[in-house]
Amino acid sequence: MPIGRRAALPLLTLAALGAPALIRRAAAQDFAPGRPITLIVPTSAGGTTDFAARLLAEPLGQRLGRPVVVDNRAGANGVIGAQAVARARPDGHTLLVQYSGYHVGTPALVQNLGWNPRTDLAPVALLMDAPQVLLEHPSVPAKTLAELVAYAKANPGKLNYASAGNGSMQHLGTELLKQRAGIDLVHVPYKGTGPAMQDLLSGRVPLFLTTPPPAIPFIQSGQLRALVLAARERHPALPDVPTAAEEGLPGFTAEAWFAVFAPARTPEALVGRLATEISAITATPEFRAKAEEQGAVVRPMTPSQLGDRVARELAEWAEVVSAGNITAE
């Protein structure tokens, strides 16, 4: 037998022996055949986080060829749902559809959460942003942001503002407004957006920062005034409402967001596959149209970009909480 052929045999044998290991390694980074994917939502059914999860579930299942189930695990400011995913097997089958208030706001308010947004969850994909609009009851004699700031400075501590609860994005966002504008407003927390909106409409509370959809009919009828958007750009449903930067307060940006996270240590290949599929879904006209109906906008992000945003906002909201001496109640 020629020397070259004899020398090749060990190489072929090694390659053959190594092939099963390579196949097992590749298979370990793929989804288990027929096993469903669970999207855990840390809120009750009916809210925007739940809406985002259900908007994603069906097309994701179609693209991955397996059932995708939405599992609502509400409670403890999102802790129950986040812990469930943080403790799940890092195999891509259990994912968290997360609300930014829980992810970057709550950690600044609550010590010993039982999960760490920096180390326990891996960013996968951003689903949508929900810009906030500052709403005002017409009884307040201020028709612009500048007029509101002047009025608040002339009447310190006399203007109340509503929120959907202590530590919510509405709460932290309005606290950011107070700090950037140098005004004194009194926080009135409610158990959800609905009760807060009812008291805003009645004039019982004059200010409320929230997403546009529930307020648009009342803005159009003149029952509420939309002063300014705490966002980087104008909202398609409110094209005449300026951004805070346009009104001379560029530091006032408070956009809620909804994103997908996996347990830490999920293989990079699975995170990449999920990110690719989700980005393809959010780019479809159907997804974008339904998101806009809820007052949200779609801004795709890679896992790395989402991770950078999380790190930045964790620091920013921690600063707001510290400066405002805000505590969990």
pLDDT at 329: 66
- Is 100 in the same domain as 161? no
| Partner residues linked to 187 by β-bridges | 161
Q: Which of 74, 77, 98, 320 is nearest to 187 (CA)?
A: 320
Nearest to 135 by CA among 234, 51, 222, 255: 222
Task: For tokens 């700031």, name the residue.
Answer: 149
Last residue of a domain, one of 165, 195, 230: 230
Same domain, 145 and 121: no
Q: What is the pTM of this model?
A: 0.83
Specify whether 107 is located in the same domain as 137.
no
Q: What is the largest CA-CA distance in the chain?
A: 100
Whether 134 contacts 274, CB under 8 Å: no
241 assigned to some structural domain: no
Q: Which residues contact 51 (CB under 8 A, 6 or more apart)?
A: 294
How confident is the model at residue 24, as a pLDDT? 38
Please tell me whether residues 76 and 164 are part of one structural domain.
Answer: no
Range of the domain at 81: 37-130+255-324
- Residue 296 vs residues 27, 161, 299: alpha-carbon distances, Å: 37, 23, 10
Do 262 and 212 have their domain in common? no
Please report where in the chains the tokens 């896992």 appear, as a residue.
Answer: 303
Q: Does 111 lie in the same domain as 143?
A: no
* Residue 196 included in any domain: yes
Task: Assess if residue 17 is contained within a domain.
Answer: no
Number of domains in the chain: 2
Last residue of a domain, one of 213, 230, 247: 230
- Per residue of the chain (329 residues), give pLDDT as tens: 444 444 443 433 434 444 444 333 433 458 888 899 999 999 888 888 999 999 999 999 999 999 999 999 998 888 999 999 999 999 999 999 999 989 999 898 888 889 999 999 999 999 999 889 999 999 999 999 999 999 999 999 999 999 988 888 899 999 999 999 999 999 999 888 889 999 999 999 999 999 888 888 999 999 999 999 999 889 888 899 999 999 999 989 998 999 999 999 999 999 999 999 999 999 999 999 999 888 889 989 999 999 999 999 999 999 999 998 887 76
Residues 106 and 69 in one domain: yes
Pair 98, 139 in one domain: no
Check which CATH number belongs to the domain holding 210 and give it. Answer: 3.40.190.10
Name 163's bridge partners: 189
Task: Say if residue 106 is in the same domain as residue 89.
Answer: yes
Listed in sequence order, the residues at least 6 apart from 106 whose beta carbon sits closer than 8 Å to its beta carbon are 77, 78, 79, 113, 167
CATH number of 43's domain = 3.40.190.150
End-to-end CA gap in the chain: 83
Contact of 96 with 266, CB cutoff 8 Å:
no
